[in-house]
Amino acid sequence: MSTRAEKFAGLSVAIVTPFRDGAIDTKRLHEQVDFQAKAGVTCICPVGTTGESPTLTHDEHERVISESIQAAAGRLLVMPGTGSNSTAEAIRLTKYAAKAGANAALIVGPYYNRPTQQGIYEHFKAIAESVDIPICVYNIPARTGRNIEPETIIRLASLPGIAMLKEATGLMDQASQVLAATDLTVLSGDDSMTLPLLAIGGRGVISVVGNLVPADMKALLDAFDKGDLASARRLHAKLFTLCRDLLGLASNPIPIKAAMAMIGRDTGEVRLPLVSLEKPLADKLRTVLADYGLPVAKA
């Protein structure tokens, strides 16, 4: 079955928000976007979980959106995070992104206030009806405290503005139910689940590891699309430990920022309440990066 937003199939990368001395490092942000453009990724997703959106001011959030679009310069698609637990705030941010030239909006399920499934449906419906750009529903109950049930996602798929699902539940049965009943473009929200999701009809990934090795994740996706399952499985196995530790050593984006600092591509700064990776975990991460073949600076 053809998917609703096929142009977003492939590799999207959830980019970090670089900080220097507590402020957004615009120069490094442009460098990160340029790195992804040169790697040939399909799309970047700024100001999501990996982009530390919960600690950005409203002005900073908008600035990262506009700077990312400017840096992309049409070379790749831009799908910023514009979600909120306030429907009015999510609409405001999504309208800003659309006006700034974003190609789509990535909207996490409303968090903390734990709405009913009807409330979730009405939340996304109101956002989708407020803009002309496609919406990607981001389902990550481990962070939001509320699963967006497959029946709700299927209802949302009846709305023309809802085009994609970022699937981060790890529940293959749930993903299968959505894929069987809709033409939504389903993207993995967990790097290590990319190949399993592709096997049941997923069309790509919104990746964290792509901040480090976009070429390898893109190669996995390309191999699968070509029917070269042996190469796809080999790349999945190669990437697995790196993917696991980037999300498992501490809350995202602490490990990915630490990793990028270790290879000279970020300062490693995170904002409170996030703190830097503790030394034993940093030492483990440095070993994982070196074993993968990445050029790690000495501690």
Cβ partners under 8 Å of residue 49, min gap 6: 14, 81, 108, 140, 143, 252, 253
d(CA 173, CA 180): 10
- DSSP type of residue 6: G
28: phi then psi, degrees, rounded to nearest 5: -70, -35
- Hey, CA dihedral for 236, 255, 26, 60, is it positive or negative? positive
138 is catalytic: yes
Annotated active-site residue in 166, 218, 257, 292: 166
3-class secondary structure, 58: helix
Q: What is the distance between the terminal CA atoms of the chain, rounded to a whole angstrom?
A: 50
Pick from 59, 78, 80, 99: nearest CA to 7: 78
Pick from 280, 279, 276, 241: nearest CA to 258: 276
Pick from 150, 137, 132: nearest CA to 110: 137
d(CA 20, CA 276): 14
Annotated active-site residue in 96, 121, 138, 292: 138
166 is catalytic: yes
d(CA 180, CA 247): 29
Calculate ∠ Cα 16-23-166, nearest 5°.
25
Calculate ∠ Cα 123-125-128, nearest 5°.
110
Instruction: State the catalytic residues.
Output: 138, 166
